[in-house]
Amino acid sequence: MRDIERWDIFELSLDGPQDGNPFVDVRFGARFSHGHRVVEVDGFYDGANTNRSSGVYRVRFMPDTPGPWSYVTTSNRAELDGVAGQFTCTDPGPGNHGPVRVSNTTHFAYADSSPYFPIGTTCYVWNHQGDALEEQTLETLRTAPFNKMRMCVFPKHYTFNQNEPVYHAFERTESGEWDYARFNPAFFQHLEQRIGGLRNLGIEADLILFHPYDRWGYAAMDAETDDRYLRYLVARLAAYRNVWWSMANEYDLMEAKTMADWDRLFRIVQESDPHQHLRSIHNCYAFYDHAKPWVTHCSIQHHDLGKVTEWRKLYGKPVVVDECGYEGNIEFNWGNLTPQELVNRFWRGAAQGGYVGHGETYLHPQDVLWWSKGGVLHGQSAARIAFLRRILEEGPAQGIAPATEHWNVTCAGVLGEYYLHYFGNSQSARRFIDLPEDARFTIEVIDAWEMTITQLDGTYSGRCEIPLPGKPYIALRIKKVV
């Protein structure tokens, strides 16, 4: 009997028919059972077997409960139907904390209850740049602070990104047109390889399923093709514990799709995914209604981080400002933030109980900008973001919430226990703060740019005058003395 560790991938591979169109004609899946629990999982056709005159069919499953599991396949083809077997789900290995879930209403945690604070970055089509550059991106991520990567399934056509991708998602007809009823397994196999590479680094793959920046036809597929694509993609990828589903990047620029279309696409992913990974959608101008039940968290594009508290209250879900602007020097206003301003936006979001995403857009002679193609980082913000990640991970495991009683400063915490004040661009030489009278607190002065932490002498209660350095990007970390 095989052993599969908890939240890893069990895969069953079977030979089957390749006549006709196996992507459409053959139904294949399996029922996985543990005690009285049964989980139905869709399988998929993975192309012709190069060693035999048959097709390859796979079904993947991520067991989440230790102990014995059994399975039996289901299919409309006799040779794929009724294949039974067993495996044992063992304890997870080092670094395997399971998939990320929503926790404490507006925060996240891994399935094993370990806290997860998303410190994400965007590399839209790093996985479409060829092996050399893609491997360089993974090597950069090995020492970078990011634990989430926004990335597109489909290639992207946009400024600084005009190159042709190595793989496409569909086969071509004899006339050279896309055959939308036949997937190209090599495309998806390569995507899986890159998602697996991120998983091995402890990085969540926030997969963008649709986007408007296209010259190949992916943005204009009909509803039947969209639906079939989503079901096939979920069947292939849902067993990867580090997958998140982002329905679209800038969904509101895709004029061919209506709000009803987006609702339908969300439901298809929700209903097809046996493991219920996180689901979001990203805007350009107009927000999707994040309160809808199939949305697990807010993925927002906005420059004003002062609105995080408002969004948390409005939607009652985690708020991730995945795109607040990029550190760089390109001609577009969204891509020429100073590193200081990007770090400032990270802290403003974090000190309201939200999360903020990184991106970098420095001009490059070969147009290898991190935000689109990956490669290496050139900016100054990443080290400071790593410092903020350390601050968050040293804080309350359940996350922090806006502390509205501190109305004159951006502040979040756990009432009466912990506070993180952030003063932004202010260069105050002192501040007055009000702490509970019946407890004692220690106070540390944090320089978010210089990455220093200075402990103030003594303890504090009630109305306190706090000396500050008189420079921007200063924060206070206040902890109750136990």
Whether 86 is covered by a domain: the verdict is: yes
User: pLDDT tens digit string along 306-321?
Assistant: 999 999 999 999 999 9
Closest CA to 125 of 182, 92, 166: 166
Of 394, 411, 431, the residue that ends a domain is 394
Q: What mean pLDDT, rounded, does the chain reach?
A: 97
Residue 291 pLDDT > 80: yes
Of 90, 119, 136, the residue that ends a domain is 90
CATH number of residue 474's parent domain: 2.60.40.3950
Using CA atoms, how far apart are residues 277 and 229, in angstroms rounded to an integer?
17
Query: Are both 72 and 113 inside the same structural domain?
Result: no
> Do residues 213 and 246 lie in contact, with contact meaning Cβ atoms separated by under 8 Å?
no
Whether 95 is covered by a domain: the verdict is: no
Whether 162 is covered by a domain: the verdict is: yes
What mean pLDDT do residues 195-212 have? 98
The count of domains in the chain is 3
Residue scoring higher pLDDT (405 or 270): 270
Whether 465 is covered by a domain: the verdict is: yes
Note down the domain range covering 257: 100-394
Whether 408 is covered by a domain: the verdict is: yes
pLDDT for 54 equals: 87
Q: Percent of the chain having pLDDT more than 70?
A: 99
Query: Are both 227 and 366 inside the same structural domain?
Result: yes
Whether 295 is covered by a domain: the verdict is: yes
pLDDT for 295 equals: 98
Using CA atoms, how far apart are residues 72 and 80, in angstroms rounded to an integer?
10
pLDDT for 456 equals: 98
Instruction: Quickly state the pLDDT bin for 49 (edges 50, 70, 90).
Output: confident
Q: Percent of the chain having pLDDT more than 90?
A: 97
Query: Are both 230 and 151 inside the same structural domain?
Result: yes
Query: Are both 330 and 285 inside the same structural domain?
Result: yes
Using CA atoms, how far apart are residues 71 and 86, in angstroms rounded to an integer?
6
* pTM (2 d.p.): 0.97
CATH number of residue 377's parent domain: 3.20.20.80
Query: Are both 407 and 387 inside the same structural domain?
Result: no
What mean pLDDT do residues 216-223 have? 97
User: pLDDT tens digit string along 52-97?
Assistant: 778 999 999 999 999 999 999 999 999 999 999 999 999 999 999 9
User: pLDDT tens digit string along 334-353?
Assistant: 999 999 999 999 999 999 99
- Of the listed ranges 1-5, 48-52, 316-320, the one predicted with least confidence: 48-52
Of 65, 90, 115, the residue that ends a domain is 90
Query: Are both 312 and 212 inside the same structural domain?
Result: yes
User: pLDDT tens digit string along 369-425?
Assistant: 999 999 999 999 999 999 999 999 999 999 999 997 766 789 999 999 999 999 999
Query: Are both 386 and 252 inside the same structural domain?
Result: yes
Residue 102 pLDDT > 80: yes
Whether 269 is covered by a domain: the verdict is: yes
Query: Are both 84 and 155 inside the same structural domain?
Result: no
Query: Are both 219 and 352 inside the same structural domain?
Result: yes
Whether 387 is covered by a domain: the verdict is: yes
Query: Are both 166 and 272 inside the same structural domain?
Result: yes
What is the layout of strands, in order, in the sheet containing 67-75? 2-5, 84-90, 67-75, 28-34, 37-42
Query: Are both 118 and 29 inside the same structural domain?
Result: no
User: pLDDT tens digit string along 136-190?
Assistant: 999 999 999 999 999 999 999 999 999 999 999 999 999 999 999 999 999 999 9
What mean pLDDT do residues 12-36 have? 97
Residue 271 pLDDT > 70: yes
pLDDT for 407 equals: 65
Query: Are both 334 and 296 inside the same structural domain?
Result: yes
Using CA atoms, how far apart are residues 48 and 235, in angstroms rounded to an integer?
18
Residue 50 pLDDT > 80: no
Residues in Cβ contact with 308 at an 8 Å cutoff, skipping those fewer than 6 apart:
319, 321, 348, 349, 352, 353, 354, 402
